[in-house]
Amino acid sequence: MTGQEAFEERFGFKARGEFRCTGWFEIPVMILGILLTIPGLFVVLFLFNYQLLGFLGILVFVPVWAILCWWLIRIGNIGVTYRYEADEKEFRIIKPDKSSDVFYYPDVMRIDYKPMHYINKKVRGYKVTVTTKYLTKKYSYIFSDNRLFKTPEGSPFFILEQRSGLVNGYVEDGGATRT
């Protein structure tokens, strides 16, 4: 018996935390950031052609405009914060609007992870599909800056997977077999 098992046996299982998912605003804000880049280039060309702004002014204007557009794109990629709480009977996901999804461990049939990529093919997170006997819920889980959470085993959905009995022979060094 490990220390964690002893704790669970005596006090019961409890886990809580936060994770991030993509927001509805992501695509509109990114498109706005990209679209603002193009008019900025035309403004620079116009001011330079008519000599309304000197070379030093352009050296100031271009980086400020680029930083503004970059931050709009970054804000679009931040996502929204979801919270989770798990105990011996259920796994609850609390959404930003304070509504929640409750998953009872015996009802969970499967959990699928499909990688989401950036344009440069780097994995950004997972589209997680939780299938129960009664419904299917989808989440667009994005990675935090913490390196531990960049695998399915580091996501909060893995707690749901473990407690539901969907993971067989999981070992911390990556030798897990999954159903």
Q: What is the tens place of the pLDDT at every residue in 55-99?
A: 777 777 778 888 888 888 888 788 899 999 999 899 999 999 999
Q: Is 93 left (phi over 0), alpha (psi -120 to 50) or beta?
A: beta
Start-to-end CA span in the chain (Å): 24
pLDDT for res 110:
93
> In CATH, what is the architecture of 3-23+79-165?
Roll (2.30)
Q: What is the C-alpha to C-alpha distance for residues 142 and 86, in angstroms, rounded to an integer?
A: 20
Is pTM beyond 0.75 here? no
- pLDDT tens per residue across span 153-167: 888 999 999 989 888
Phi, psi values for residue 133, rounded to 5°: -65, -25
pLDDT digits (tens, 9 = 90+) for 92-142: 999 999 999 999 999 999 999 999 987 778 888 899 999 999 999 999 999
